[in-house]
Structures are given as structure tokens and as C-alpha cells.
Amino acid sequence: MTKPPVASLLLALVFTFVPAAFAQNAQSSPEQATQDQAAAGQTTFHAETSLVIVPTLVREKSGHPVYTLTAQDFTLTDNGAPQTVHLEEGNDSQPIALVVAIETGGSGVLKMDLYPQLEPLIEGLIGAVPHTVAVVGFDSHVYLLQPFTPSWQEISATMNSLQPGDNGAAIFDGVSYAVDLLRSQSPQYRRVILLLSETNDHGSQAGLVETVRAISDTNTIVYSVAFSSLKSDFKTQAPRIVQDDRPGPPHGCMGKYPDEEKNPNRLVQFWNCLGLLAPPLKAAQLVVALGIDGLKRNVPESIAGMTGGEYFKFSNEKNLQSDLATISNHVPNRYVLTFRPQSPAPGPHAIEVKLKDYPKLVVTARRAYWVEPPGQPSSSQEPPAPQP
């Protein structure tokens, strides 16, 4: 009798047993979730608490924000399943932790003369609430240009001392690093990234999957203001969306590293193996479920859309200033919806928010979150030294 291929057996076992095991392990008791929420002082999503935050902006077709709706006006689905929606109050008075992530390499060098004048507009984006701001630059690498500070003088000085970088535009790496910076801030802060970059990623080590996972872990919202990449870049560059080319264990995806500290949780390793065999299922699921096939063409737009933020394009100083003014108007006028999924399965989840009785209004909301398998630690990076 011919033996079935190992890959087929593995896939059969995955789809038979793993979803139930993952769902059971990922679910937490309501009592524990309530304790976690109270300790944090704010509703935050982690795999342990199973509470998901969904920033949502509602506008008239003219663009004016609508801020008179209640939780009963919204419907929300998680991977197609209807959820009970709650509306958090008083969000506009919460403090803000903001990371300004600026492309200083690639085509971004041509736009750097527009950025020194942005400090007053960034200050307007935050408003009168308590705040802390950091500045990150990226080309082929990521640089911490200004650690978190409440001082606008320090931010202005940093924006006026930007230096051109190399030919890289590692957008995924820049966003992932900004998320890691925000991870260290108090959960009472709204976490925001202002991304200033071109539309194409060139040279990132991180990919879509890693970025979505990092953003989900911190409930970060991304506002992207971007300029078009050079046409030649579309043919020669593409972000690492569904391919993980980093070296794995020497004896296959379910093998073990010689260094025990590198060995992941076995359930996590099983999920990652499935991604290689499928191939790779987890990233393909993101692309299909979230409708982000255009990510290769416009990375900032797709990232902003997944987080419930907004995307704007600019070509000159006037466009840029107008875009930031619009963001300043929208930041305090967003609804913060929350829901608690039942037995959330590990991996990517697609969120869809609609209005029941207002078909003429436009809804912009978070489109995705990620549930980590039990025992999976949050990824983080050591901040690099400030750029000289």
C-alpha cells in the first residue's frame, strides 16, 4: 500500500484538530478579561483578554465627520460572524502617543525639504491633550531620530535636521519599529503613527504578516501621507507579502534549532509550517479576506486601511499641509468600537463595520486583527542608536 505524503497527513491533522485546540486555548474567562481591562485603565486587545478595539470614522459624502451615532447604529462582523458592539466614550480626551515615521531614503530624499515646516501641523493633529512624540527615519535601515518627548521644540529641531539616506525605502520595517516604540507607552495613550513615505516598499525584512501582528498587539492606528514611487520601481521591487525567506530550523519547519532559545512554541511552529505547506496559507488568507491585492502597488494605503486610519497622497507642500489639516479634524472625531470575539481562532481575522440605517454615510474602520496562539510572545526590537 502506498503511504500518503507527509504534507497531506499534516494538513489533514491541522484542519481536523488544530482549530478546536487553538480556540480552546485562546479563549479567556470574562472575569480575567475584566481584571486585565481595569488594570490597564483602557480597553486593549491581547490574545489573553480577547477584546478588540475598532477605530471607526463616519463621514458624509462631502467629507464632514458625523459624531452623533450610538452603538446601536453599527453592525460588525468578525470573519463574517456578527458581534455585539460596544461604544467607548470620552476617547477624544485621552492622551496620544505619536510616532512620526519618515522615509529619508529612496525617493523620499526628494521630499525632505517639505518636512521642516510640519511641526505646527503635527501639533495641531494632537490638539490640546497630553502627548508624547517620537520621530523615526528609515531608508534601508530604521533610525530612532528622536525618542519620545512632550517637547515641541525638540520635535521641531529634529524635523529641521533630517539627513538624506541611501536608496532604500523599508516601509514595513519602519512601521514595525514604530509599533515597537509605541508598545512601551502606557495603555491609556491612544497609539498613532503618522507615516510619510512613497507608495512602494524597497528592502524591508518585515512583511505584511509581521506588520499586521505587531499593529494588532498595540491597537495602533496609522495615518499615511504618501507620494508616488518612481514608475521604474514598480517593476523591480515588491514587498515580502506571502514569502518568508528567513532561514528556518536545519531539519525542516517542524525541526528544532541547535540553540534552544530560538525554538518557538510548538503550536506556533505548527501554524508557521502550515503557512509553508499551503503555501503560505496565513498570508494568502490576509490578502483574500482583506481585499489587499493592491498592496504591492501601495503599501501605505493598505496599512492605513487595515488599522482604521486614512491614506492621503501628496505631490507638493500645499497638498501635504492640506492632508495633515484633514487628519487633525478626523483624529478627535473617531468612534472607538469594541467587541469580544467568542473562541477566537489564532491567525488573521477580517473585520467589517457597517451602519444599519444610514446608507449615504461613509464608514472607515479597522479591517483586521491577529490572534496569537497561546504562549506566543510579542515581538520587539531594541531601539537603534539615534542617527548622527
Amino acid residing at 118:
L
What's the pLDDT at 139?
96
**Strand residues in the chain grouped as ranges (E):** 52-59, 74-78, 81-82, 86-88, 96-103, 131-138, 142-149, 190-198, 221-227, 311-313, 335-339, 347-355, 362-365, 368-371
pLDDT at 89: 85
Q: Which pLDDT belongs to residue 76?
A: 96
Q: Residue 214 CB: number of other CB atoms within 10 A?
A: 25
CA distance 84 to 51: 11
- The pLDDT value recorded for residue 377 is 54
| DSSP 8-state code for residue 100 | E
The answer to whether 196 and 166 have CB atoms below 8 angstroms apart is no
pLDDT at position 229 is 78
Cis status, amide bond into 30, omega within 30 of 0: no
In order, the DSSP letters of 172-214 are HHHHHHHHHHHHTS-TTSEEEEEEEEESS-BS-SS-HHHHHHH
Domains of the chain: 1-35+49-377 (3.40.50.410)
Q: Which mean pLDDT values do the consecutive 10-residue runs of the chain (388 residues) have?
A: 42 38 37 39 42 92 92 94 91 89 95 92 92 97 97 96 95 94 90 95 82 78 90 44 46 55 50 47 49 62 88 93 93 91 82 94 90 62 44
Question: Measuring CA to CA, which residue among 139, 135, 136 is closest to residue 156?
Answer: 135
pLDDT for residue 250: 53
- Residue 349 confidence (pLDDT): 86
